Structure 1
């Protein structure tokens, strides 16, 4: 009993901070989502409109387009980061010349703020001064302009996200691989299992918890991407890179439509929770049932 009381006392500061900076803002956003509110209008008071904002969102083509673009971005970016991160993690498990230097360089993008990453990639992809368009044109004869080409803008953002966040996936999977016991792998090799069978039946099931945690982190980050995209393309050209985070930003700040922007935020949070729950059920629940 005494240890439980001490535990709650130690947790109290964190719980208080979480309540004031997490729970209360969330409840306020939910409250605002049921109102029409422009605090900078001639009549800045909130006008309760029930579920009108939620009804409107179903028929909002701009929102639906942003949702589709965001889903495509999440699929391409997160899957690529998982594959590349796993391959790099396996490479770092072996010794090779310059390993420590390469590992340090590989981790450097993680210490950069997202807005800085967007600024750097903006400089690298500007046609007149950027190194990427210059060498694409010089070596392959490809003209690249993310300001006018929607596919180029989208793929540049995907590559930028992979460059920025693959080191996080690599580090988490290295930690998972290092902690694996060697006995199952040695036994599988004795039984004549090939590398594919060892990965599918031994490695993958054993690193699934770390893999799911990594997917959750990257999924939530990718769904709310704003900084890099805003700095690189501003959501353009047109609406080709107007992700959900950028769409919310434009609704709340340029349009000062706080009620509808809050509604979109609540919907995005709900979709994130649903997707994470589905991933948990599909990846971890069967594993627990097999143990049971």
Structure 2
């Protein structure tokens, strides 16, 4: 009993912080979601409207379009980051000249603020002064203008996210690879397994928890990205890069529709939880069911 009391006492500060900065804001946003509220309008008071904000979401073409673009962005970004991160982690496992310097340079994007990343990429892609349009024009004769090319604008947001967050995936998977025991790999080599078989049957199952945790983190970040994309494209051209986070920002701040913005935030949180749960079931629960009892 005393040990349990001491344990709860040690956890009390963390639980209090989570309650104040996590649960209380969520409950407030949930409360606002059931109201019509524009504090800067003619009637600055909250007006209860039930589930009207949520019903409005079902018929909001801009919201549905932003969901489609966000899911596509998250898929390409997260999959590319996991693949590149694993390949780079395997590279860092080997000895080669300048490995420490290259590893340091590789992790530098992680210390740069997202809004700075978006600003730098905006400068690099500006047609008149950017290095990327200059090289594309010089080498391939291609005129890059993300203000009018929706496909290229979407591709650049994905490339920018990959450049910024692949080092995080690399470090996570590198830590997982370093901690693996050598005996299973030696046994697989003795049994005559090739590199692909060793990867598929030995390496991948052992680092699957690290991959799953990394995918969860990157998926949640990708679904709520705002500042990088806002600085690079502003959500354009049209709505080609108006992802969910940016869509909510435009509802809450320029339009000051706090009730509808809160309802949108709740739905986005729900969609994120559902996607993470489905991913967990696909990668973990099904594997556990196949194990012999």
TM-score range, shorter chain: over 0.9
Q: Aligned equivalents of 2:26 and 2:203: distance in 1?
A: 39
Deviations 1:155-202 (A, max 9, x none): 000000000000000000001111111111111111111111111111
Q: CA deviation at 1:5?
A: 1.6
Q: Aligned equivalents of 1:119 and 1:7: distance in 2?
A: 46
| Structure 2: unaligned runs, 5 residues or longer | none
Q: Aligned equivalents of 1:146 and 1:46: distance in 2?
A: 40
Q: CA deviation at 1:253?
A: 0.4
Partner of 2:208: 208
Partner of 1:52: 52
Q: Aligned equivalents of 2:144 and 2:124: distance in 1?
A: 11
Q: Aligned equivalents of 2:6 and 2:115: distance in 1?
A: 41
Aligned residues: 292
Q: Name the stretch that deviates more: 218-227 or 10-19.
A: 10-19
Partner of 2:88: 88
Deviations 1:249-281 (A, max 9, x none): 000000000011001100000000001111111
Scaled by the length of structure 1, what TM-score is found?
Answer: 0.98
Q: Aligned equivalents of 1:92 and 1:3: distance in 2?
A: 44
Correspondence list, 1:149-164, <5 A: 149-164=149-164
| Structure 1: unaligned runs, 5 residues or longer | none
Q: CA deviation at 1:286?
A: 3.0
Partner of 1:282: 282
Q: CA deviation at 1:288?
A: 3.3
Partner of 2:114: 114
Partner of 1:185: 185
Q: 1:230 and 2:225 equivalent?
A: no
**Secondary structure of 1:168's partner?**
helix
Deviations 1:199-248 (A, max 9, x none): 11111111111110000000000000001001111101111000000000
Relative to structure 1, is the Cα distance of residues 291 and 182 closer, same or farther in structure 2, using a 3 angstrom cutoff? farther
Correspondence list, 1:1-292, <5 A: 1-289=1-289, 290=291, 292=293
Q: CA deviation at 1:2?
A: 2.2
Q: Aligned equivalents of 2:32 and 2:284: distance in 1?
A: 36
Q: Aligned equivalents of 2:47 and 2:211: distance in 1?
A: 45
Q: CA deviation at 1:140?
A: 1.3
Q: CA deviation at 1:291?
A: 6.8
Q: CA deviation at 1:3?
A: 2.3
Deviations 1:72-93 (A, max 9, x none): 0000000000000000000000
Q: Aligned equivalents of 1:49 and 1:42: distance in 2?
A: 17
Q: CA deviation at 1:287?
A: 3.5
Q: Aligned equivalents of 1:199 and 1:286: distance in 2?
A: 20
**Secondary structure of 2:7's partner?**
helix
In angstroms, what is the RMSD of aligned CA positions?
1.0
Scaled by the length of structure 2, what TM-score is found?
Answer: 0.98
